[in-house]
Structures are given as C-alpha cells and as structure tokens.
Amino acid sequence: MMLLPLYALAVWFVCFRLRRMWVGWFALVAAVSLVVALVFVYPHLQRWFTGESTRWSSFQFVMWGEAIMVAVVGVFILCLPREIVQVPCRKCGYELEALAAEAGNVRCPECGTERAVKV
C-alpha cells in the first residue's frame, strides 16, 4: 500500500534535484510513462495469471490517479526556481548581490527601481 506514495515521493525528489533542467523533464516523463504502461499491461497480466480480465479495474483507476498526481506535482516542482536570490530587487526580485556589494543600494538594472535593495 505504501508503494504508490513512496514512488511519488521518489519521483518528486528527483524532480526537485533536477528542477529547471532538461534531464528532470525526461525523468518525469519516464516515471509517468512507467505508471501509464502498467495501466495498459495490467489486463494482459491479469488474463495471463487468472485466465480472465476486466476492461476497467480499480487498480487501473488508482494507477491513472497516481500518474496524474505524479505528473501535475512533478511539473510544478520542475518549474520551481533553481537558485535562491540573496539580495533581491524590492520590485522585481532581480538578483542584486554583486551590484550591492560593489556600489551599495543601487538602481535595479532590470526594472529601473531606484535604491532597489531592501534595507
């Protein structure tokens, strides 16, 4: 019973580590494809082991839910920013760390806000 939540957490962890990278998107597509493949392989396995198969079972319903949940949360995690801004512009959030260290409270080069560093 814990396999599906653990699988989702493992995929999301990988997505978090690889966020904003192409390899992260490949990992998410591979992980969701595995779950979707199980949905389509399951009736064949069921027929092989029990001799009969149902077109739509609760297992398949749960696996579609798992696939959708892993995909939606995975996409959200992959879109999270990779780096945390140390000295953000107070208006647009642009990184001002190097400029602020050099010249103090500067004008933001991105949006033009004067004294952009939050004090």
Binding site for Zn ion (CB under 5 A): 89, 91-92, 94, 108, 110-111, 113
Q: Which residue has the tokens 């198969």?
A: 53
Torsion of CA 105, 109, 112, 113, to 10 degrees: -30
For residue 55, what are the contacts with CB-CB under 8 A and spacing of at least 6?
Answer: 43
Judged by CB, which is closer to Zn ion: 52, or 114? Answer: 114
Judged by CB, which is closer to Zn ion: 17, or 115? Answer: 115
Find the shortest distance in angstroms from Cβ 45 to Zn ion: 56
Judged by CB, which is closer to Zn ion: 31, or 108? Answer: 108
Find the shortest distance in angstroms from Cβ 95 to Zn ion: 10
On the 0-12 / 13-18 / 19+ scale of CB atoms within 10 A, 4 is middle
Find the shortest distance in angstroms from Cβ 80 to Zn ion: 21
Q: Where are the beta strands (DSSP E) in 25-102?
A: none
Find the shortest distance in angstroms from Cβ 106 to Zn ion: 10
Type and span of the H or E element at 46 = helix 22-50
Judged by CB, which is closer to Zn ion: 53, or 113? Answer: 113
